[in-house]
Structure 1
Amino acid sequence: MRDSGDGVSGARVVCLGESMAVFVPAEAGPAEGVTAWTRTVGGAESNVASTLARIGVPSAWVSAVGDDPFGRAVLAAVGSAGVDVSGVVVDPTRPTGLYVKESDAAGSPVRYYRRGSAASAMGPDLLERLDLTGVEVIHVSGITAALSPDCLALLRAVMDLPRTGHKVSFDLNWRPALWADADPAVLRELADRADTVLVGADEAETVWGATTPAQVRAVLPNPGTLVVKQGAVGATLLRHDRPEVFEPALAVEVVEPVGAGDAFAAGYLAATLDGAAPSRALRCGHVRAATVLRTHHDVADPVPADVLERLVDVDAATWAATAWTGAGVGAR
């Protein structure tokens, strides 16, 4: 294997995980009848890195891709967002993973073709190639743990790193199709070793049987910060020995939900790095998620900084009355 560059120097956030070529139907109808497809790029961790870079937070994406056209496409797409991809390994023997959306409708079935991919061969030695000087957050997700025993060992190595200058952010990102042949019990172990955990309420119920933020906290007693995303209802933030914070989500006319959780994570992390109060950080997450909910893309163009400031600083009543539809952002 070879690195695509020299390291991740200068990044405030390093996002580690697999990204793939994505094929989306370019015409209507069942997948077996579709003959035209649009190739794009997707991956939870690179989505977070790309959103961070687009809103001005220096970020890096670390992974492995094949020495093939899809690998080059992934590197080009993520790099074009302003993300440092110099820590990505190019594997000369294994392919870049891919997945296929069977419909362009919201909630469309997805089929993965990632077994034996370049990223599935990532292991703890990947960390030895990285210069983490100045890095404030390493962001990972539960997806990586499902890819292979080596990838699980990599995530455990991330958790083992001394927290001398950085924190670890862990997004559960439950993907049931990836866990058919693996034990998801390791997700509790990994999440409980992180500093910040982001988890959807629906995911927590499926994986841990936890139906409330308090129950999620009981499952994960150790992380300093726990963010439970409750879909269109809002998000709850829990910290040790501090009051629970809840912020309702913006009302959004949804085009497609894929990638919204990654955008929320990026918005929340960016605001937290800037020293925002928890309630404001949650609102920033909601705004970033809304931009993706309004598109068919996994990563959306960010709202201008002045629009973001106006949105997140309104009073509770105005925030609750705000909707994002095809006509724009305004009172509902």
Structure 2
Amino acid sequence: MTRVPHPDILCIGSVLWDVIGRAPLHMRQGSDVPGRITRLPGGVALNIAMTLARFGMRPALLSAVGRDPEGCELVQACEGLGLMTGHLYRSEDLPTDRYMAVEGANGLIAAIADAHSLETSGDKILRPLLDGTLGSEAAPYPGPIALDGNLTVGLLDEISRHRAFARADLRVAPASPGKADRLLPFLGTGRATLYVNLEEAGLLAGRQFDSSPQAAQHLVERGAARVLVTDGGNATSDADPDSFYTQTPPEVLVTRVTGAGDTFMAAHIAAEARGLTRAQALSEALGAAAIYVSGGHEA
């Protein structure tokens, strides 16, 4: 019998097709300009997994993917990227999710995330962590888990308290500013490291912040076990109740933004998995994100 390799990390959340339109011009509402439209494997959990694989890790995906032609094509693409897809929930009657965004030279103009199949699937995507395949309540999964906020509020709240996640190194991202408040259950549980940008930090806290150090300090005071707050080209901060680190990312020409936060998070997780110090891991993650936004590696 062929032995299935054990994953280095689980990536739980959205696995879908990204449809991205990019134009080299500044855009505003109603703009109609020439550009390029691409379709790529995407979703927060998948973007993180792809970057982790580039850093030599073996990620396993836990998500919902339809058995429609788009879903079969997506699973095949994921396997070609070195990702483990055997734990995906494959729905017979739900379509594969999609994300659509428009970007100009002045950044993201608009985006729509259609993650309805993931939300409808609910805790079905977590079965491998409950039935003994990867873990259970009696024997919780002991490794790192990257989790995104495309899951429902109820499911995220359950994960924040569930005994099956008690030993996991949970790393959580909100997926988008509109879903930042879904991370509220992780404030005060002492279980998760949160990855947010400055806008998301403000939405999570219910107030505005002027800088990442201010936001990070406030979220830790609110009960976050650990938080990393990015702010575009400005300083990024990594804080927990006992330590605080701040670094400024390298200056680069920004050519794209969709997927930058996912790249930062994945690079940071991979750096810490290799045993780098907090300061070294932050520097490496900022460097990887800078390469990405300047047009380097796809997320």
TM-score range, shorter chain: 0.7 to 0.9
Question: What TM-score comes out, normalization by structure 2 length?
Answer: 0.80
Residues 20 and 296 (structure 1), Cα distance of their counterparts in 2 relative to 1, 3 Å cut: farther
Q: Deviations over 1:252-271 (max 9, x none)?
A: 11110111111110111111
Using the aligned pairs only, state the percent identity. 22
Deviation at 1:284, TM superposition (A): 1.2
Which of 162, 168, 192 is equivalent to 2:170? 168
SS at match of 1:11: coil
Residues 1:285 and 2:285 are matched in the alignment? yes
Structure 1 counterpart of 2:94: 94
Residues 55 and 99 (structure 1), Cα distance of their counterparts in 2 relative to 1, 3 Å cut: same
Structural mapping, 1:212-223, within 5 Å? 212=211, 213-220=213-220, 221-223=222-224
Structure 2 counterpart of 1:202: 199
Residue pair 1:61, 1:87 contacting (<8 A) in 2 also = yes
Residue pair 2:193, 2:227 contacting (<8 A) in 1 also = yes
SS at match of 2:122: coil
Structure 1 counterpart of 2:265: 265
Root mean square deviation, CA, Å: 3.1
Structural mapping, 1:217-232, within 5 Å? 217-220=217-220, 221-232=222-233
Deviation at 1:80, TM superposition (A): 1.9
SS at match of 1:143: coil
Residues 22 and 174 (structure 1), Cα distance of their counterparts in 2 relative to 1, 3 Å cut: closer
Structure 1: how far apart are the matches of 2:277 and 2:89? Answer: 37
Structure 2: how far apart are the matches of 1:47 and 1:287? Answer: 17
Residues 10 and 35 (structure 1), Cα distance of their counterparts in 2 relative to 1, 3 Å cut: same
Residues 112 and 273 (structure 1), Cα distance of their counterparts in 2 relative to 1, 3 Å cut: closer
Structure 1 counterpart of 2:10: 14
Aligned residue type for 1:81: L
Between 103-112 and 53-62, report the one with greater CA deviation. 103-112
SS at match of 1:252: coil
Between 192-201 and 132-141, report the one with greater CA deviation. 132-141
Aligned residue type for 2:108: G
Structure 2 counterpart of 1:122: 121
Structure 1 counterpart of 2:184: 188
Structure 1 counterpart of 2:138: none
Structure 2: how far apart are the matches of 1:296 and 1:95? Answer: 31
Runs (5+) with no aligned partner, structure 2: 136-140
Structure 2: how far apart are the matches of 1:28 and 1:265? Answer: 27
Structure 2: how far apart are the matches of 1:218 and 1:93? Answer: 44
Structure 2 counterpart of 1:237: 238
Residue pair 1:15, 1:140 contacting (<8 A) in 2 also = yes
SS at match of 2:150: helix
Residue pair 2:115, 2:150 contacting (<8 A) in 1 also = no
SS at match of 2:47: helix
Residues 197 and 111 (structure 1), Cα distance of their counterparts in 2 relative to 1, 3 Å cut: closer
Runs (5+) with no aligned partner, structure 1: 1-5, 145-150, 300-332
Residues 1:141 and 2:148 are matched in the alignment? yes
Deviation at 1:172, TM superposition (A): 2.5
Deviation at 1:103, TM superposition (A): 5.1
SS at match of 1:50: helix
SS at match of 2:60: strand
Structure 2 counterpart of 1:64: 64
Structure 2: how far apart are the matches of 1:36 and 1:275? Answer: 40
Residues 205 and 100 (structure 1), Cα distance of their counterparts in 2 relative to 1, 3 Å cut: same
Q: Deviations over 1:57-78 (max 9, x none)?
A: 1211110111112112221222
Between 154-163 and 230-239, report the one with greater CA deviation. 154-163
Deviation at 1:140, TM superposition (A): 0.9
Residue pair 2:10, 2:145 contacting (<8 A) in 1 also = yes
Q: Deviations over 1:62-113 (max 9, x none)?
A: 1011111211222122222211111111111011112333456541422344
Structure 1: how far apart are the matches of 2:92 and 2:34? Answer: 32
SS at match of 1:45: helix
Question: What TM-score comes out, normalization by structure 1 length?
Answer: 0.73
Aligned residue type for 1:198: Y
Deviation at 1:205, TM superposition (A): 2.1
Structure 2: how far apart are the matches of 1:33 and 1:238? Answer: 42
Residues 226 and 103 (structure 1), Cα distance of their counterparts in 2 relative to 1, 3 Å cut: closer
Residue pair 2:103, 2:109 contacting (<8 A) in 1 also = yes
Residues 94 and 291 (structure 1), Cα distance of their counterparts in 2 relative to 1, 3 Å cut: same
Between 194-203 and 204-213, report the one with greater CA deviation. 204-213
